[in-house]
C-alpha cells in the first residue's frame, strides 16, 4: 500500500494562553499543501522494519512518528496488525513549520486502518493521532481546519486557494519551537480566523498575523527579508508557517518571486 503524506501551512497563528500543564493554547487555520513525502507498507517476511530515505532525519529511525504510529495500532489491535516492512521517503523539509513528521504519523494510522480493514472511524483515528502529536489529528481529516487548544480541537472551514499559486521558501535553518514560545506573551486573538474566507486574500495582510514572527524575525532578520521580497514581487499574502523557518507567499496563478538570500534555502511551488 502506497500513500503520499502532504504538508500544511498556518494561515494566521495566535498564541492565546499558557496553560497550567505547560502547553499553550492557540488559534490557527491549518491548510493542506501538495508537497508530499512517500510512505509504503508491505507484509513483512519476518519482524517489522522501517527504512527511511531522502532527507536526513535526526534521531533513531524508531523514534520516527511512523514507527510510533505502527506501535500504537499494534498495541490496540495486536491480532489484526501484522508485521510490516515500512518505507518512508522524506521530501518535506523538517523543522520548518510544515508538519511533515506529523503527516507521516497520521497517514500511517490511516494506512494500517485500511490495510488491516480495522474500520476505525476518523474520530477515533484522530484520538490516536493526538497521542503522537498536537497537530497530528489535522492530517487525519486533511482539509482546511480552524484549530484551537494545542491544535487538536478542529472545526472544518470552507476555504479554497486552488485559484492561487503558493511559493514555499524553506531555509535550512532549524528554529527551536520551545525557544520561540519562551519569547511570546500570550494574548487573545484580535481576529476570528473562522471568518478568514469571508475576506479577499489581499486583505489578510492587514487582518491576520503569526505571533511567532516578531521573535523569530528579531533573531533571524534574513527570514523577514524573504517575506518582504515575496510582497515586493507580487504576493497577495505572505507569512511564516508555524514557528518557522518556512516562509510562504500566495500569488495570483502562475506568478512567483525570485528570492535572494544569504541563507541556503529550497523552493517549492504548489
Active site residues: 8, 135
Rounded Cα gap, residues 184 and 1, in angstroms: 43
Give the number of other CB atoms < 10 A from CB of residue 172.
13
| Cα 211 to Cα 171: distance, rounded to the nearest angstrom | 20
Residues in the chain: 270
From residue 2, alpha-carbon distances to 41, 73, 104, 115 in Å are 7, 18, 12, 10
Helix (H, G, I), strand (E, B) or coil at 266: strand
CA gap 72, 109 in Å, rounded:
9
Amino acid at each position: 500500500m502506497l500513500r503520499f503524506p502532504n504538508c500544511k501551512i498556518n494561515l494566521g497563528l495566535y498564541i492565546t494562553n499558557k496553560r497550567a500543564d505547560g502547553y499553550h493554547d492557540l488559534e490557527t487555520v491549518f491548510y493542506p499543501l501538495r508537497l508530499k513525502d512517500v510512505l509504503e507498507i508491505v507484509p513483512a517476511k519476518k519482524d517489522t522494519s522501517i527504512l527511511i530515505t531522502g532527507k536526513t532525519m535526526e534521531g533513531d529511525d524508531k523514534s520516527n512518528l511512523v514507527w510510533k504510529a505502527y506501535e500504537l495500532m499494534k498495541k490496540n489491535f495486536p491480532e489484526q496488525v501484522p508485521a510490516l516492512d515500512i518505507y518512508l521517503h522524506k521530501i518535506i523539509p523538517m523543522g520548518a513549520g510544515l508538519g511533515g513528521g506529523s503527516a507521516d504519523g497520521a497517514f500511517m494510522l490511516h494506512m494500517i486502518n485500511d490495510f488491516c480493514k480495522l474500520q476505525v472511524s476518523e474520530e477515533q483515528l484522530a484520538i490516536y493521532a493526538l497521542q503522537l502529536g498536537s497537530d497530528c489529528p489535522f492530517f487525519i481529516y486533511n482539509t482546511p481546519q480552524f484549530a484551537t487548544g494545542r491544535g487538536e480541537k478542529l472545526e472544518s472551514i470552507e476555504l479554497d486557494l486552488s485559484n492561487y499559486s503558493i511559493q514555499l521558501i524553506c531555509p535550512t535553518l532549524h528554529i527551536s519551537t520551545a525557544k520561540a514560545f519562551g519569547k511570546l506573551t500570550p494574548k487573545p486573538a484580535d481576529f476570528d480566523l473562522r471568518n478568514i474566507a469571508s475576506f479577499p486574500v489581499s486583505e489578510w495582510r492587514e487582518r491576520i498575523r503569526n505571533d511567532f514572527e516578531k521573535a523569530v524575525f528579531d533573531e533571524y532578520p534574513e527570514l523577514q527579508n524573504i517575506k518582504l521580497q515575496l510582497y515586493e514581487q507580487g504576493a497577495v499574502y505572505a507569512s511564516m508557517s508555524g514557528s518557522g523557518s518556512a516562509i510562504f507567499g500566495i500569488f495570483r496563478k502562475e506568478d512567483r518571486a525570485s528570492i535572494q538570500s544569504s541563507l541556503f534555502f529550497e523552493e517549492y511551488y504548489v
